[in-house]
Amino acid sequence: MRRPVALIALTALVVAGCGDSNSPTAGPSTVPSSSVPIEPTEQPSEEPSSPATETPPPTATDTPTDAVNCIDQKLQSLTLREQAAQLIMTGIDASGMTSAQKAVVEQKSGSVFLMGTSGSLAHTRSAMSAVNTAATVKGVRPLIAADQEGGQIQRLKGSGFDRIPAATVQGTWSSSKLTTQAQVWGSQLKQAGVNVDLAPVADVVPSSLKSQNAPIGQLNREYGDTPAEASRGVQAFVQGMRKAGVATSVKHFPGLGRVRGNTDFSSGVVDNVTVRGDADLQPFADGIKAGASMVMISTVTYTKIDPKNRAIFSPTVIQGMVRGDLGWQGVVITDDVGAAAEVASVPAGARATRFVAAGGDIVINAKAGLTTTMVDALVARAQEDKTFAAKLTSSVRRVLTLKQDHGLVGCG
């Protein structure tokens, strides 16, 4: 039985109150709580409630006053261009920045993510130290992210990094074992200077589609073929990473489990099945409850949700479903929109502005050469459109709040 995702936030109030191994994170889930159907609305309420947890991740609404003041100070100190740069996550080589990538990062890109394969943990730590030096602006350090899922999707594999089994294997473990192991893997990332794991995959791949599902099923990236199985793995992984002090991103909302094409290499990928309030959205809601730091949006078009827009450009998906139905007020991030074939026909600058206009925050860009174009577009749009400028400021505030939570914002 499928129940509306909108029930998640309501119940919380009542009860408690990417593609292959060389591409960024390609390829993409609600807590059943009542038998009384509630029709989801197209837009979120003014103050949607986040699902209750024992130790909820901080958001702009529950951050301590001193931290809020610090974030306000940083917002005021950053120029418009520096603020826009906080919304771009630039791809760099995992073994260290090339000279061209360094030139881009030195423009104070707010985040980077690692592509290709790395060297040892010690080498990675040295390379990430250089990234921090290049990207830090006015006491704000960068988010440094990696796809460290396991199996075929493990970016950091050198000496000092455990080889992580695929999610299909992790999903057979007990929750306690997976949490313990994820904490170990997260501790290795932390030691290497990486503070974000672009994982876990919260997509549900029906067993009947596994062999046809290029982005997830064929790569063994799913924790299970039912929402309950996937949720258990997602929660355990998030909790372990959180214990290690590493931010996570549940992905790829609203799910890549029912598509066939991989958006890294194919365009026109659609999902003609998933609906708003779909039962397969459960693992995303459970990941948020477990303490995930971000929700990643897929580049697929969901014809039964918003047939006119890819999910990353859809206010219905981001504002209506993520911020409204799920009650998530933290950072929303794209799947790759730099090198992915799915968005190749969209001008690079528009990929960034359309995402922020739809309510998103961080844009993953695998082509470092496009970062300046994206920042330019964000600045230009903010200068000519006050409504967009307000959205950009809200996005930067959410990013700074996440960074504050991980000790990446310094106030003196």
Output the CA torsion 312→91→144→84 (10° steps). Answer: -60
Pairwise CA distance, residues 73 & 69, whole Å: 6
Residue 280 covered by a domain: yes
- pLDDT tens-place string over residues 210-262: 999 999 999 999 999 999 999 999 999 999 999 999 999 999 999 999 999 98
- pLDDT tens-place string over residues 307-361: 999 999 999 999 999 999 999 999 999 999 999 999 999 999 999 999 999 999 9
Residue 194 pLDDT exceeds 60: yes
Is the distance from CB of 87 to CB of 396 less than 8 angstroms? yes
Distances (CA, A) of 258 to 4, 25, 221, 232: 19, 17, 14, 20
Residue 9 pLDDT exceeds 70: no
Q: Which tokens sit at 45?
A: 């309420």
**What's the pLDDT score for residue 68?**
75
Domain with residue 130: its CATH number is 3.20.20.300
Pairwise CA distance, residues 6 & 3, whole Å: 9
Of residues 23 and 72, the one with the higher pLDDT is 72
* Residue 227, number of CB atoms within 10 A of its CB: 25
Residue 51 covered by a domain: no
Residue 19 covered by a domain: yes
Residue 296 covered by a domain: yes
Q: In which band, very low, low, confident or very high, does the pLDDT at 62 lie, cut at 50, 70 and 90? A: low
Q: What letter does residue 209 receive in the DSSP assignment?
A: G
Domain that holds residue 209: 7-25+60-405
Residue 58 pLDDT exceeds 80: no
Residue 50 covered by a domain: no
User: DSSP for 311-341?
Assistant: GGG-HIIIIIIIIIIS---SEEEES--SS-G
Residue 28 pLDDT exceeds 90: no
**What's the pLDDT score for residue 14?**
32
Is the distance from CB of 253 to CB of 311 less than 8 angstroms? yes
Residue 148 covered by a domain: yes
**What's the pLDDT score for residue 78?**
97
Output the CA torsion 347→350→355→359 (10° steps). Answer: -170
**What's the pLDDT score for residue 266?**
85
Of residues 93 and 21, the one with the higher pLDDT is 93
Residue 57 pLDDT exceeds 90: no
- pLDDT tens-place string over residues 130-158: 999 999 999 999 999 999 999 999 999 99
Taking the alpha carbons at both ends of the chain, their separation in whole angstroms is 53
Q: In which band, very low, low, confident or very high, does the pLDDT at 55 lie, cut at 50, 70 and 90? A: very low
Burial 370-380 (b: 16+ CB within 10 A, else e): bbbbbbebbbe
Residue 166 covered by a domain: yes
| Domain count for the chain | 1
Residue 269 covered by a domain: yes
Calculate what percentage of the chain has a pLDDT beyond 90: 81
Pairwise CA distance, residues 98 & 85, whole Å: 19
Single out the residue of 204, 197, 210 nearest to residue 237, CA to CA. Answer: 197
Pairwise CA distance, residues 142 & 111, whole Å: 5
Helix (H, G, I), strand (E, B) or coil at 93: strand
Q: Which tokens sit at 145?
A: 């992210």
Distance of CA 27 to the CA centre of its chain: 13
Sign of CA dihedral 255, 392, 266, 143: negative
Least confident of 20-29, 34-43, 190-199, 271-280: 34-43
Pairwise CA distance, residues 383 & 378, whole Å: 9
Q: Give the count of alpha carbons within 13 A of 26, CB side only.
A: 32
- pLDDT tens-place string over residues 360-405: 999 999 999 999 999 999 999 999 999 999 999 999 999 999 999 9
Q: Which tokens sit at 15?
A: 């009860």
Is the distance from CB of 197 to CB of 248 less than 8 angstroms? yes
- pLDDT tens-place string over residues 159-191: 999 999 999 999 999 999 999 999 999 999 999
Report the chain's mean pLDDT, rounded to a whole number: 87
Q: What is the mean predicted confidence (pLDDT) over 32-48?
A: 33
